[in-house]
Amino acid sequence: MAIAHRRRRWLTGANSLLMGGLSLALVGALVVLADAERWILYASPLTSGSVNEDLKQVFEKAGGRLIKIHAFSAQKRDRFAALRDRTLRDRLQWMSAFPNVEVSFVDLDADPDTARALGVSAYGTVVIQANGERVDLSERALFQTTEAGLEYIGDPALARAVARTLADRPTVVYLLTGHGERTFSGIGLSSMRTWAEILGRRGVDIQSLDLVTQGPSVPKDADAVWVVGPTAPLSPGEDEGLRAYLEEGGRMVLLVEPDGTVPSFLEGVGITVPTGRVSDELQFFPHADRPVLENRPHAVWTRVPTDVRTMVSGAGALSNVGGRDTLVEPILGTRTAGWLNTDNQPGFDKSIDRPGPWEVMVSARWTRQKRESRLIVAADADLFSDDLLAEGPGNALLLDGIVEWLSDDPPPRPSDESRVPLHPLALSNANLSRLKLFFLGIWPLIPALVGFYVGWRRR
């Protein structure tokens, strides 16, 4: 009898030990998974009360015209992917309450056919279609990452995009031709087909401009003129036509090569292009002609993180003296360690080369008529070529910023009212360490102490 009782106690103890070990292993596995996956619980971040007033008004004033909005999912490996997707779903749900608005949320990985049909390849893109027009918004126009986490800033951008598609007249951009400039219908890596596609998705109508055959004056419907890499001189009449357009409050982007043709009106603005090409010891490997540049403080970088780099190819430098009533501001330039290479030889030669920093892109503003004149100049005609838009991490973002800056109402930095902090309920490193200590260290001791106490009392 005593042996059977002792055996039963041993079996009970062994069973308790086995179950305790299995429970400990299960808790350990859960902690490891929590550490690897960081399970996150999301509360609803957006409510109808958090909608920007401008966004409300633009839908209310649509006049029954059909608006289609397609939102594409974030990249799964993004640690905020689920939060971004949930936020867009909440906003789409609010939009769907309007009878003339059709919305859809598309998983870019699960439904590539829809993305392909709409020409979307970037995660987090939102496509707005209305009135025969289309505008695409990138993920960076809708969200921004701060030290505190993720913030939704998309309502003002959505309002502007919907308003642009509903506008009676699209934005018109002219691309100067006739002097060997880059064209959006060309071929090769220097072509600007991608540039045209990006602007087209923003609702921009791109037209060619030949001031010889169409007349010396820029058309009245021009919202901006782009002059990209002329290789032959402009005639005095063409040069005067562009200068007059700027003086009357026009908007222009001038991208020149350091050894190419520079329109003479640029000197009147106070900007010159010295001989040579910028260099730096830091380069985009394996390209020796692509130095790493720095973003200068400027409004075009409003929605671009400071660590995103813009790529140039064989870029020159600008000397931005500026005129008496002209404000010239740097946008992109070399590091202090960079230099202007004047002999086309590798390395810095202090007897010939000119030390930095040097500016590669600048903007100029002045007002002589009712409307402010705005000009952007860069010493690299390939800055927005197909090649650099594909390889440069910041080139497409810079293009977005330039288009906004050239407009009459560029978006301000998001105000406190338009920011919606998105706070997931997630395990921090400190909390996870405390859970590990409790479940793997303290929790197993609790049943052991209880068992020891029960055994001691039974004696």
Fold held by 48-167+418-425? Glutaredoxin (3.40.30)
Q: DSSP assignment of 26-65, as one string?
A: HHHHHHHHHHHH--EE------GGGS-HHHHHHHHTSTT-
CB atoms within 10 A of CB 452: 10
Q: Residue 363's closest CA among 316, 313, 326? A: 326
Q: DSSP assignment of 326-351, as one string?
A: -EEEEEEE--TT-EEESS--SS--TT
Say if CB 330 and CB 322 are below 8 A apart. Answer: no
User: How many whole angstroms from its chain centre is CA 223?
Assistant: 23
Q: Could you report the per-residue pLDDT of 28-87, keeping only the tens digit for each?
A: 666 665 555 444 444 445 555 567 777 888 888 888 889 999 999 988 877 788 888 888
SS3 410: coil
Rounded to an integer, what distance in angstroms lies between the CA atom of residue 393 and that of residue 391? 6
Rounded to an integer, what distance in angstroms lies between the CA atom of residue 95 and that of residue 89? 10
> Going residue by residue through the chain (459 aa), what tens digit of pLDDT does each one get?
556 656 666 666 666 666 666 666 776 666 665 555 444 444 445 555 567 777 888 888 888 889 999 999 988 877 788 888 888 888 898 889 899 999 999 999 899 999 999 988 889 999 999 888 888 888 888 887 777 778 888 888 888 888 888 887 778 999 999 888 888 776 665 688 889 888 887 778 899 999 988 888 999 999 999 999 998 999 999 999 999 999 999 999 999 998 888 888 888 888 989 999 999 988 887 888 889 999 999 989 877 766 788 999 999 999 876 666 889 999 999 999 999 998 888 888 888 989 989 999 999 999 888 889 999 999 999 999 988 988 887 898 899 889 889 987 554 444 444 555 555 544 455 666 666 677 667 766 776 676 666 666 655
Q: Could you report the per-residue pLDDT of 274-318, keeping only the tens digit for each?
A: 999 999 988 887 888 889 999 999 989 877 766 788 999 999 999
Rounded to an integer, what distance in angstroms lies between the CA atom of residue 151 and that of residue 421? 4
Rounded to an integer, what distance in angstroms lies between the CA atom of residue 127 and that of residue 69? 6
Residue 80 has what pLDDT?
83
Domain ranges of the chain: 22-36+428-459, 48-167+418-425, 171-393
Q: Residue 107's closest CA among 81, 68, 138? A: 81
Q: In what order do the strands lie in the sheet with 67-72?
A: 101-106, 67-72, 126-130, 133-137
At 435, the amino acid letter reads L
Q: Tell me the pairing of strands 339-341 and 126-130.
A: unpaired
Rg (CA), the chain: 30
Fold held by 171-393? Rossmann fold (3.40.50)
Rounded to an integer, what distance in angstroms lies between the CA atom of residue 109 and that of residue 123? 9
Residue 227 has what pLDDT?
94
Residue 412 has what pLDDT?
44
